[in-house]
Amino acid sequence: MPAPWMFALDAVAYFALAAVFWPGTAACCKPTPLTRLLPLIPLALHLYLLGQDMLGPDSVRLGFASSISAVAAVTVLAYSGAAWRYPLGGLQGFVMSFAGLTVALHGLMDDSVPVAHSNLPLFRVHLAMAFAAYSLFTIAALHAGLIALAEKHLHKAVPPKLVSGLPPLLTLEKLLFRMIEVGFALLTLTLATGILFSEDIFGRAFPLTHKTVFGIASWLIYGALLAGRWKYGWRGRTAIIWTLTGFVTLVLAYVGVKFVLEVLLHR
């Protein structure tokens, strides 16, 4: 586990960037090449801390805090790339805040333990795709929440700065479904490799566990959302409800249960 001061430094850097990118600030509404590159600085330290804590020579170490910290790191990476193509406005302020909170939590909770069978290459690929899918659906859930907030204040003469600094609704919606499409593809591959891994280790493809049940349920929800978007043009409130329902189900598949077992029950 790296030194606590390194986690504190990284968290402070993320929170400082959150203030820089918060809706209504100059960096939020008028990005420059420099401001687009700034998130890569705390992200580099973030990835180093994750690598030191999670990646061992013969196994992968995971815990509740390190898992959500890894999801936040991939989320920052995705937004840093998207910022060069899309007008993200104040979205990065929320992302930097989320990353800062997860890094601080990771530094406070030394809960990572070796994961069985994580020396297998297939299992490591499975984990990498799972974290990427979680990150994209985290972004999608954030967008769904912000779309709901923007729609609520859409017809106000003077909308709050929190809303006025956000990208246009069409941009938010376009990004929402782009993230869901890619996340759904990665979730499909995650479930497929999980089946292969379960057959190899446990001798059966579908062990009846909470991860299997909630994982497949979230896959069905996101699949139905994309089908509804393609066939019926779902958007607005309908898309928000389906997106958030799928995200909550996905969280219950892993992070929620891990929180209960490790943080509340200390198991």
Segments of the chain assigned E as strands: 61-62, 113-114
Q: Report, as an integer, the average pLDDT of 31-42.
A: 86
Pairing of strands 61-62, 113-114: antiparallel
Q: What is the pLDDT of residue 200?
A: 59
Query: Residue 227: pLDDT band by 50, 70, 90 thresholds?
Result: very high
- Alpha carbons 11 and 2: distance in angstroms, whole number: 14
For the chain, give the number of residues: 267
In this predicted structure, the answer to whether residue 231 has a pLDDT above a threshold of 80 is: yes
> Chain-wide mean pLDDT for the chain?
81
- Alpha carbons 119 and 71: distance in angstroms, whole number: 21
- Residue 213: phi and psi, rounded to 5, are -65, -50
pTM above 0.85, yes or no: no
Enter the tokens of residue 250: 């996905």
Query: Residue 10: pLDDT band by 50, 70, 90 thresholds?
Result: very high
